[in-house]
Amino acid sequence: MNTKAVKEINCELVVVGGGPAGMAAAVAAYEDGLRDILILERDDNLGGILRQCIHNGFGLHRFGEELTGPEYAYRYEKMVRDYGIPFMTDTMVTGISKDRVVTAQNTKEGIFKIRAGAVILAMGCRERPKGALNIAGHRPAGIYTAGTAQKFVNMKGYMPGREVVILGSGDIGLIMARRMTLEGAKVKAVCELMPYSGGLARNIEQCLKDFDIPLMLSHTVVEIHGKDRLTGVTIGKVDENRRPIPETFEYIPCDTLLLSCGLIPENELTKDAGISLDRVTNGAIVDGDRETEIEGVFACGNVLHVHDLVDYVSEEASIAGHAAVRFIRHETSKTVNVQVKADGQIRYTVPQKLTEVAPTRVYFRVADVYRDKKVVVAVGDKVLYEKKKQKLAPGEMETVELTDKMIAEAAELGGVLEFKLV
């Protein structure tokens, strides 16, 4: 068989992914004076999943105004273009080694390798597919994840169906309930297995209530009907152990079932590189710099943990971008090793560990809906921080600002910082 050599190049900073995280990370690095940057994007344009999110509600925190997804993406794309930050589209990264050699391919270069000074992982996330839900019944056409339906409708201009049931009340599902309604489809119900929605409160108001779409909490789809194309679903209420109650089963005729049952960070490359993942976030375990356990490899955005708002993705990505530049310039001083532990009511924190004595914003999510609770950060018995919260919900990310003092104290007092709800 014929062969052709694999080209190798060098680059100080390789950013894997040109969505909101990757672009913000590259922009931050550029603004610190780094020029030898390369963004690798698998799609045909920068912007990532925002390109198909044509609804508004993006950018209130970051830009102080309400933008659509493509508008938000374009703000960053324009910065990338104006700064002249190099990027390659239609380029798939297929591997990352422990010593930061990135393997990628595109139609112009074929397969090539980049020896990177630092790597920022910003591959985003994907939706949980039907198979993973293990619903009984047939396997007809007409079952899509909400994001796939969004792609068909918003990017390709095709309608997946007329009569819709949505399983899961994640934000994309809520957004698609409204979108399908506006396109003339009838959304008959949104079923949510949990007793609360995993989506943002504002999306429940604006996408369901405003259109009289019923949100059926503690409900799930128990059977799929239809041999060729979907003809209907059986839904049912679930008990406190999330087991369906047969007496409540109800048949709903429909030709489309959309799934919005959670997002999974896309960490195949991360795992291949040998980086261990947090079992709760499904993203890498990182420190305040968003540096993974492999030196010089950083992660940010939805590949690290699923965010509720893109504004926080950008914020986190710029932390990673700045840190990558400090790493390249040997300016990092990692002097402590503090583990951040979540108590279970708090499901996870990012970062999971702290290695520098510097002000750090910690993001977290809770496991259930809680009212009138205190968020407490403590080392052993010593409370370093507490704040009352009227309401906490799994769908909304929360933050705590840690001061350098707190981190120094945590390091002195044993190195474990506990995040809990009391």
Contacting another protein within 367-406 (CB under 8 A):
none
Compute the least distance from the CB of residue 303 to another protein, in Å: 13
Given 54, 79, 88, 92, the residue binding another protein (CB under 8 A): 92
Residue 112: strand, helix, or coil: strand
Compute the least distance from the CB of residue 304 to another protein, in Å: 18
What whole-number distance in Å separates Cα of residue 13 and Cα of residue 119?
6
Residue 333 C-beta-side C-alpha neighbours within 13 Å: 2
Given 118, 204, 222, 257, the residue binding another protein (CB under 8 A): 222
Compute the least distance from the CB of residue 292 to another protein, in Å: 19
What whole-number distance in Å separates Cα of residue 372 and Cα of residue 353?
28
Give the residue with the Cβ less far from another protein, 64 or 184: 184
Backbone conformation region of residue 404, classed left if phi is above 0, alpha if psi is from -120 to 50, else beta: alpha
Compute the least distance from the CB of residue 295 to another protein, in Å: 25
C-alpha distances (whole Å) from 375 to each of 22, 391, 393, 403, 420 are 31, 11, 13, 16, 6
Burial of 116 (0-12, 13-18, 19+ CB in 10 A): buried
Given 32, 36, 90, 272, the residue binding another protein (CB under 8 A): 90
Given 33, 64, 82, 134, the residue binding another protein (CB under 8 A): 134
Contacts (Cβ under 8 Å, ≥6 apart) of 100: 14, 115, 116, 117, 118, 119, 294, 296, 297
Tokens of 136: 């009984």
Contact mark string toward another protein, 240..279, x via CB under 8 A? ---------------x----------x-x-----------
Please report whether residue 110 would count as binding another protein according to CB under 8 A: yes
Contacting another protein within 151-170 (CB under 8 A):
151-153, 155-162
Give the residue with the Cβ less far from another protein, 159 or 416: 159
Contact 422, 374 (CB under 8 A): yes
Please report whether residue 1 would count as binding another protein according to CB under 8 A: yes
Measure the CA angle with vertex 56, ends 41 and 144; round to 5°.
65
Interacting span for another protein (CB under 8 A) from 66-74, 136-144, 209-217, 358-366: 136-144
Nearest to 100 by CA among 352, 275, 276, 306: 275
Give the residue with the Cβ less far from another protein, 55 or 373: 55
Please report whether residue 106 would count as binding another protein according to CB under 8 A: yes
Please report whether residue 103 would count as binding another protein according to CB under 8 A: yes
Residue listed under structure tokens 């591997």? 95
Residue 289 CA to its chain's centroid (Å): 18
Interacting span for another protein (CB under 8 A) from 19-27, 105-113, 169-177, 388-396: 105-113
Compute the least distance from the CB of residue 244 to another protein, in Å: 8
Contact 43, 149 (CB under 8 A): no
> How many CB atoms sit inside 10 A of residue 12's CB?
18
What whole-number distance in Å separates Cα of residue 401 and Cα of residue 319?
14
Judged by CB under 8 A, the number of residues near another protein is: 58
Given 54, 70, 88, 129, the residue binding another protein (CB under 8 A): 129
Burial of 168 (0-12, 13-18, 19+ CB in 10 A): buried
Given 21, 25, 26, 42, the residue binding another protein (CB under 8 A): 42
Interacting span for another protein (CB under 8 A) from 11-19, 69-77, 133-141, 296-304: 133-141
Give the residue with the Cβ less far from another protein, 51 or 62: 51
Give the residue with the Cβ less far from another protein, 33 or 136: 136
Give the residue with the Cβ less far from another protein, 36 or 90: 90
Measure the CA angle with vertex 149, ends 147 and 154; round to 5°.
90
Compute the least distance from the CB of residue 228 to another protein, in Å: 4
Tokens of 148: 């796939």
Give the residue with the Cβ less far from another protein, 176 or 222: 222
Compute the least distance from the CB of residue 251 to another protein, in Å: 15
Compute the least distance from the CB of residue 384 to another protein, in Å: 35
Tokens of 217: 């909490």
Contact set with another protein (CB under 8 A): 1-6, 42, 90, 92, 94, 103, 105-111, 126-127, 129-132, 134, 136-142, 144-145, 147-148, 151-153, 155-162, 183-184, 222-224, 227-229, 255, 266, 268
